[in-house]
């Protein structure tokens, strides 16, 4: 195991890889990452869009599916599920070794269903049932419509990665949905230790949205690069209050797992900031950080590892209060980011289907 991943593990943080590409699954490079200490994988429509349009790795399977008269949607569904299944199989030894703490791969429901509760629920069930692997997580966005779908999934034993969380208040609702779902699962006579969930709290995009708003504020520069970390630290305090408190004690005694905070969108967008800014500041017990390739490389170069997510909480609260005093509404920013995130994933989904349709047309001629 790489020394940096070992140090992070000792602090209670798991590093997952925010990327899937078919060539990595076949040439041993994905397995090499796992050997170094990466213990999970996340995907999203943008990642798959880049993988399929940026390579010819999928052309053979696309050609085969065309021969079966499959449309673009069915081709998309087949190639993404194949990648996820192969990744899950590579991760299975980690899942077994950690007794289901890590070793997961996540696949997202069709982002077009983000505001459709019944559609999200049906798609989540279909994906989990067809993949038939205990170390798959289904990603559902933390929209108003997604939250009841999350509860229903947990209540029937489906592992869920709640995605596109930007607000600590929304995160509170998501934790409660997880607990309600788990309680129903237990009440039905099931073992809660076999259900896992993470809550993906998006980090760097908060700074990307707020930093420009601070540019023309008096003393605004002193808060640049701080809002995202402060927001995440407050979210972690909410996690501690719920899962380390009385509300979860009975379920925990029955073997239930906490819903770990997962720090997502942890690449540094501003080149003047440290490339590990959204990693080293958010290390803590029972957390996950899913990082893209460049951030994984930056982590390996090293930094001082300690559990910083619980440090300087008063400062974090002060930073967020100062934002409000400057007329910047964190609630509005985070809601806008969630809507923009859904639109972005939906656009990637459309582009991917269009690319597959283009290949389908070209190959059919």
- Of residues 161, 258, 169, 174, the one with CA closest to residue 200: 161
For residue 105, give Cα distances in angstroms to 38, 216, 292: 12, 42, 14
DSSP letter string, 278-342: HHHTT--TTEEEEE-HHHHHHHHH-------TTS-HHHHHHHHHHHHHTT--HHHHHHHHHHHHH
- How far is Cα 113 from Cα 63, in angstroms, rounded to an integer? 28
Beta bridge partners, 127, equal: none
Please state, as a whole number, how many other Cβ atoms lie within 10 Å of the Cβ of residue 48: 23
Per the listing, tokens 């708003």 go with: 213
Give the largest Cα separation in the chain, rounded: 64
Cα–Cα dist 149/315, whole Å: 36
**Three-state secondary structure call for residue 71:** coil
In this structure, the chain runs to a length of 365
Q: Are 118 and 54 in contact (CB under 8 A)?
A: no
Element (H, E) at 351: helix 330-364
Q: Strand, helix or coil at 304?
A: coil
- Report residue 77 CA to chain centroid gap: 20
Active-site residue identified among 50, 86, 139, 246:
139
Question: Residue 26: how many CB atoms within 10 A of its CB?
Answer: 11
Q: Kindly provide the b/e burial profile for residues 320-359, where b requires at least 16 CB atoms within 10 angstroms of the residue's own CB.
A: bebbeeeebebeebbeebbeebbebbbebbebbbebbeeb
Whole-angstrom Cα distance, residue 135 to residue 85? 10
Catalytic site includes residue 139: yes
Give the catalytic positions in this structure. Answer: 139
């Amino acid at each position: 195991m790489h020394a940096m991943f070992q140090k992070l593990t000792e602090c209670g943080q798991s590093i997952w890889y925010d990327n899937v590409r078919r060539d990595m699954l076949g040439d041993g490079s994905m397995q090499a990452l796992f050997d170094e200490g990466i213990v999970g994988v996340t995907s999203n429509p943008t990642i798959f869009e880049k993988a399929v349009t940026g390579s010819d790795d999928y052309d053979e399977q696309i050609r085969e599916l065309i021969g079966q008269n499959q449309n673009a949607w069915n081709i998309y569904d087949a190639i993404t599920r194949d990648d996820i299944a192969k990744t899950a199989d590579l991760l299975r030894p980690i899942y077994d070794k950690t007794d289901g703490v890590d070793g997961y791969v996540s696949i997202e429901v069709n982002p077009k269903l983000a505001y459709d509760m019944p559609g999200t629920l049906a798609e989540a069930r279909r994906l989990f049932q067809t993949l038939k692997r205990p170390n798959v997580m289904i990603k559902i966005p933390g929209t108003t419509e997604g939250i009841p779908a999350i509860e229903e999934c947990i209540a029937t034993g489906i592992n869920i990665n709640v995605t596109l969380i930007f607000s600590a208040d929304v995160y509170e609702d998501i934790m409660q949905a997880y607990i309600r779902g788990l309680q129903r699962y237990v009440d039905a006579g099931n073992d809660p230790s076999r259900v896992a969930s993470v809550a993906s709290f998006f980090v760097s995009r908060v700074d990307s949205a707020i930093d420009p708003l601070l540019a023309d504020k008096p003393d605004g520069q002193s808060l640049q690069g701080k809002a995202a970390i402060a927001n995440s630290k407050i979210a972690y305090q909410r996690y501690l209050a719920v899962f380390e408190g009385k509300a979860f004690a009975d379920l925990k005694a029955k073997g239930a797992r906490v819903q770990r905070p997962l720090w997502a969108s942890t690449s540094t967008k501003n080149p003047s900031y440290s490339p590990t800014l959204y990693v080293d500041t958010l290390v803590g017990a029972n957390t996950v950080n899913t990082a893209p390739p460049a951030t994984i490389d930056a982590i390996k170069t090293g930094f001082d590892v300690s559990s910083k997510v619980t440090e300087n909480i008063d400062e974090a609260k002060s930073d967020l209060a100062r934002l409000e005093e400057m007329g910047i509404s964190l609630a509005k920013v985070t809601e806008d980011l969630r809507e923009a995130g859904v639109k972005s994933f939906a656009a990637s989904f459309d582009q991917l289907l269009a690319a597959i349709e283009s290949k389908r047309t070209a190959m059919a001629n």
